[in-house]
Amino acid sequence: MLNNITIGQYFPANSVIHRADPRVKILLTVAVIVILFLASGFVALGICAAFCILLILLTKIPVKMYLKNLKAIWAVLLLTAALNVFYITGEGDPLFKWKFISIYTEGIERAVFIAVRIFLLIIISSALTYTTSPTELTDAIERLLSPLKLIGLGGAVHVFAMMMSIALRFIPTLIEETDKIMSAQKARGAEMDSGNLIKRIKAMLPIMIPLLFSSVRRAYDLAEAMECRCYNGGAGKTKMKQLHLSFRDFALVFGVIILLASVILLRIFPIVLF
Amino acid sequence: MDNIIELKKVVFDYTDENDLPVSVLDEISLSIERGSFTAVLGHNGSGKSTMAKLLNGLNKPSSGTVTVNGMDTADEKHEFEVRKTVGLVFQNPDNQIVASIVEEDVAFGPENLGVEPKEIRNRVDEALKSVGMYEYRTHAPFKLSGGQKQRIAIAGILAMQPECIVLDEPTAMLDPRGRSEVIETIQRLNREKGMTIVLITHYMDEAALADRVVVMDGGKVILDGTPMDVFGHVTELKSVGLDVPQPTELVTLLKADGVDIDTDVLDVDQCVEVLVKALHLEEK
Amino acid sequence: MSILKAQGLTYVYGEGTPFRIAAITDVNFEINEPGLYAVIGHTGSGKSTLIQHLNGLIKPTSGTVFVDEKDIWSKNEKIRDVRFKVGIVFQYPEYQLFEETVRKDIAFGPRNIGLDEAEINERVMWAAKKVNLTDELLDKSPFELSGGEKRRAAIAGVLAMRPRVLILDEPTAGLDPKGRDVILKSICDYQKQENAVVLLVSHSMEDVARVADKVLVMNGGKLQMFGKTAEVFSRHAELCEMGLNIPKVMQIVSALRERGADLPDGILTVADAEKAILRLVKDGGENA
């Protein structure tokens, strides 16, 4: 039921992108997101799309997995597209006019543009989480934030990273558990999808309370298990996986620089298709 | 005798929410011999989980002493050395896995100990190989079976290179396949690597595989000996809510019925042999 | 009259995704009389999927479930009513407890049925008694109980709905022998007193041999065997191939038979074996 959610999941594979330095991947993802917002016009967006497609092909993860995300966000896509279609007014005559609604070519163009942009945003961030294990991700964030150690925030950075990594580790476990508790309560005749708002919130209690209790128990167990494995808050901790930049990281950076350059050039010298 | 762990007159108690004292362990003295395989049996609430946590200093005794390689577990300065020497594996495999990737989880212990990255890699690979999970090193633990997860938890302890592993009902949440995977792993570590094993369980068939069985009830040790010695006490075991392996139970019952039969039996094959003799089947 | 019937039940989980898990294919069986039926099979054999079909928690990809000869997914049946007729106790049911008191928690099911307060109260007391929970425990928070007591409280929550068909998924998992015996006894009592159909999913062949009248064997998503307990366990070799075993005492008996001992069929427990062997010893004595 709930285990169809793939956003934020990691798919182990042995691709160039998987092996790239997670710090580089995080920074480049942020860069591509900025570039997507810089892109103006369909040519620039097309180049961005081509770049994203090339990238997801390189991840060796089935394209289907990326498309599945569409399912989760189609409502958002549709809404933004619709807003644009109805609100943008263009020059010249509208394509369609009925009472107070008028649709212009510009509106449709804008709607398509925004929808593609959102979709690319989702794809590029999925590519990051699909190819980077939560531990790598948090480890990279910890290192990217390491300048904060200089102002005495080293402990806080470690705790933040540890919390994030444990949260990510337990998300699938908790989803599974929620599913089980839901089935058990339904078997006792619980109704979860009918009635007014208050009734529905009340109907969630038989799920939320057991979930809360079991999370507390898990947290307690996990803390003991971590103590048994000599965890002491990260002091003197080493890392099995050392991060070092390699040729593939520079190649990725180079690719993104080219992308950035072409998008900026297109802003200065726009090519208009229609 | 060379003992790795020694408990001397260990008492463990606490006060409940009504400020009433609850006694969990009552003057227990016990020593664990280096390289041995000891099973601790007892029903739920017999104090056996408390005992597990005492063995690596997670619990400190209310009175009496617990020493690991001569180090007092109550002494803060030995804390890490004790935990590194005696590793603890818990019942619920899901709640002791820290990382989202198998090998990263196994690396957690040595990373905390500040081991060199290259050395961690070696330890992780070796630990995963000795529990038979090396080919799963890049998998997400979430998708593995209970038995596999429990073996990863064992690998996580092995990577700290302990001398003794204490397992607190490691098979209670597993299916029969998972149970035998874990038990075979434990037996192999004991036989091939000379690892000291303390297995806390309420499955009699698992306890029968140990060199020594310690039975606990009401915070005390009530029986202590080889599996053969201990399982001979069928009525005592049943009276504290424990079972006896079926083969042992059958021959003990027959003996009580007046049949002339040898009762030194733990498994099916031994039982068949003594019954063949008692029934004079070969001669017919 | 058939109480529970599965016809051509097939289910495929998440087809075409990496999450494709155990499925069941063309499962057919019919239960016509009350009794204790064990469901065995190793993890991934489709047992859990099968039982969730029987009270409509999962809708089959194809095939039909009949309860009291009515198709549970037909338009005139309400699926929620089916769940009151077919109760399921899931694995580790103690994790579903949520009310402030044990009493209220046991009352959750009966209240959902829509019974009046007097009837709810009566059912709670009745169910608590069935699983040996004392009155003083009823007003405690479920989170204050011991592991075994929590388990029994959760089972009482399903018993209180007085289901005609009661399904339990490994109700004794993780319990010590004492806790296990109390629960098995409650289940057997419920079956007899209510004249119910009880389906017991179990990994413990010893428990199955002790309490089950009939056994369903699942393997690779298919129903491989369905018959009397002694009959099913007599097919030792086939069970072994499916990764299942028979109780040790039955292994002993079958080995003795191979060595020429004249032991009767239908030995399931240590007590049965003891009796049969004693008889053999006595006969041997007389012959000699």
- Model confidence band, residue B231 (pLDDT cutoffs 50, 70, 90): very high
- High-pLDDT (> 90) share of chain B, %: 76
Residue B238: inside a domain, yes or no?
Answer: no
Which DSSP state fits B76? G
- Would residue B86 count as lying in a domain? yes
Q: Does B281 touch chain A (CB under 8 A)?
A: no
pLDDT mean across residues, chain A: 85
B284 and B147 in a single domain? The answer is no
Give the pLDDT confidence of A156-204 residue by residue, as tens digits.
888 888 888 888 888 889 988 999 999 999 999 888 766 677 877 888 8
- Residue C266 lies in domain: 247-288
Q: Based on the domain organization, do B262 and B223 belong to the same domain?
A: no
CB-based contact B247 C278, cutoff 8 Å: no
Report yes or no on C168 lying in a domain. no
The arithmetic mean of pLDDT across residues C172-193, rounded, is: 93
Three-class secondary structure assignment of C208-271: HHHHCCEEEEEECCEEEEEEEHHHHHHCHHHHHHCCCCCCHHHHHHHHHHHCCCCCCCCCCCHH
- Measured CA to CA, the distance from residue B223 to residue A213 in angstroms comes to 37
- Smallest CA–CA distance from A177 into chain C, residue: C95
Edge-to-edge order in the sheet of strand B71-72: B21-33, B3-15, B63-68, B71-72
- What would the mean pLDDT of B212-221 be, rounded to a whole number? 94
Residue C288 pLDDT > 50: no
Are residues C269 and C210 in contact, defined by beta-carbon separation less than 8 angstroms? Answer: yes
pLDDT for the residue A172 = 86
Phi, psi of B5 (to 5 degrees): -125, 135
Contact residues, chain A, for C97 at CB < 8 Å: 210
pLDDT for A151: 81
Query: Would the CB atoms of B175 and C43 count as touching at under 8 Å?
Result: yes
Asked whether residue C257 is domain-assigned, the answer is: yes
What are C68-89's pLDDT values in tens digits?
999 999 887 788 889 999 999 9
Query: What is the distance of C-alpha A87 from the center of its chain?
Result: 28
Inter-chain CB proximity C252 and B176 less than 8 Å: no
Residues B52 and B129 in one domain: yes
Query: Is there a domain that residue B98 lies in?
Result: yes
- Closest partner CB to C95 (pick from A11, A64, A181): A181
Question: What's the token pair of residue C136?
Answer: 């003083």
What average pLDDT does range B265-276 have in this prediction?
92
Domain assignment present for residue B72? The answer is: yes
Interface test with B, best of A11, A135, A230 (most B CBs within 10 A): A230
In a domain? residue C263: yes
Instruction: Evaluate if residue A98 carries a pLDDT over 90.
Output: no
Q: Does B126 touch chain A (CB under 8 A)?
A: no
Taking the Cβ of residue B119 and every Cβ of chain A, the question of whether any pair is shorter than 8 Å is answered with: no
A232 in reach of chain B (CB within 8 A): yes
A11, A68, A181 ranked by CB distance to C96: nearest: A181
Q: What is the pLDDT of residue A183?
A: 92
A-chain CB neighbours of B107 within 8 Å are: 240-241
Between chain A and chain B, how many beta carbons pairs sit less than 8 Å apart? 105
User: How confident is the model at residue B283, as a pLDDT?
Assistant: 56
Q: Is A182 on the interface with C (CB under 8 A)?
A: no
Residues B132 and B258 in one domain: no
Cβ-based contacts of B120 with chain A (< 8 Å): 238, 240
Which chain A residues are Cβ-neighbours of B115 within 8 angstroms?
A: 238
B47 with B75, same domain?
yes
Residue A237, chain B, CB below 8 Å: the answer is yes
Instruction: Mark yes or no for CB contact A165/B99 under 8 Å.
Output: yes
pLDDT in tens, B29-61: 999 999 999 999 998 888 888 999 999 999 999
Pair of tokens at residue B251: 């021959």
* Contact at CB, B246 and C261, closer than 8 angstroms: no
B177 near C CB under 8 A: yes
Which residues partner with B5 through β-bridges? B32, B68
pLDDT of residue A200: 79
pLDDT band at C16 (very low <50, low <70, confident <90, very high): low
Residue A211: pLDDT over 50: yes
| Confidence check: pLDDT of A273 > 70 | no
Tell me: pLDDT of B278 over 70: yes
Residue A127 tokens read as 């590519």
Does some domain include residue B79? yes
B62 and B196 inside one domain? yes
Q: Which residue of C has its CA nearest to A188?
A: C109
CATH of the domain at B128: 3.40.50.300
| Range C224-243 average pLDDT | 93
Q: For residue B106, give its domain range.
A: 3-227
**Under a CB-based contact definition with an 8 Å cutoff, are residues B52 and A228 in contact?**
no
DSSP count for chain C of H helices, then E strands: 12, 10
Q: Which residues of A touch B84 (CB under 8 A)?
A: 230
Share of chain B above pLDDT 70, in %: 99
- For residues B151 and B266, membership in a common domain is answered with no
Decide: residue C230, CB within 10 A, 0-12 exposed, 13-18 middle, 19+ buried.
middle
Task: Name which of B272, B6, B271 is nearest B164 in CA terms.
Answer: B6
ipTM summary value: 0.89
Domain total for chain C? 1
Please report which helix (H) or strand (E) contains residue A56, including its range.
helix A42-58
Please measure the distance between the N-terminal and C-terminal CA atoms of chain C and give it in whole angstroms: 54
- Asked if residue A243 has pLDDT above 90, the reply is no
Asked if A210 has any chain C CB less than 8 Å from its own CB, the reply is yes
What mean pLDDT do residues B250-274 have?
Answer: 92
- Cα–Cα separations (whole angstroms), residue A84 to A8, A108, C81: 29, 7, 47
Question: pLDDT tens, B7-23?
Answer: 999 999 988 777 788 88
Cβ contacts (< 8 Å) between B91 and chain C: which residues? 174
Residue B14, beta-bridge partner list: B22
Q: For residue B91, tell me if it sits in a domain.
A: yes
- Summarize the confidence of residues C239-254 as an average pLDDT: 92
d(CA C89, CA C168): 5
Which residues, other chains included, contact B19 with Cβ-Cβ below 8 Å and sequence gap of 6+? Answer: none
> Domains in chain B: how many in total?
2
